Amino acid sequence: MLGIDPSTEPRNVSTREESLESLKAVAARTHGPLTVQAYESARRSDETPANTVMLRCDTWAEALVDAGLSERMSTKARFRYDQIKDAAEAPKDATR
């Protein structure tokens, strides 16, 4: 149809699991908070881009938690993550 053979073209798609594996691999090579900027600076070209990691996991903080790397969250990311988590756990107003 378009003259593209998927078996010979580079693959640009990353699954959620592949995204988390890339996150873990970069974390193993770096120290300190694993921010998006730190990840992008340290990732190799064959590792999932940060924007794809976030698409697969909803947020950067969720990706870190899902990868077992919550201790590598920056203070700012932890604050945002806690706010979102607290809001999700808050009781809903039954009068609406």
Residue at 44 is within a domain? yes
Residue at 9 is within a domain? no
Q: How many domains does the chain have?
A: 1
Q: Tell me how far apart the alpha carbons of residues 50 and 42 are, in angstroms, rounded to a whole number.
A: 11
Residue at 35 is within a domain? yes
Residue at 4 is within a domain? no
Residue at 68 is within a domain? yes
Domain span at residue 63 reads: 16-89
Residue corresponding to tokens 């640009």: 12
Residue at 54 is within a domain? yes
Which tens digit of pLDDT belongs to each residue from 29-88?
999 999 999 999 999 999 999 999 999 999 999 999 999 999 999 999 999 899 988 888
pLDDT of 94 higher than 60? no
Residue at 21 is within a domain? yes
The pTM of this model reads 0.78
C-alpha closest to that of 81 among 96, 91, 95, 69: 69
Residue at 1 is within a domain? no
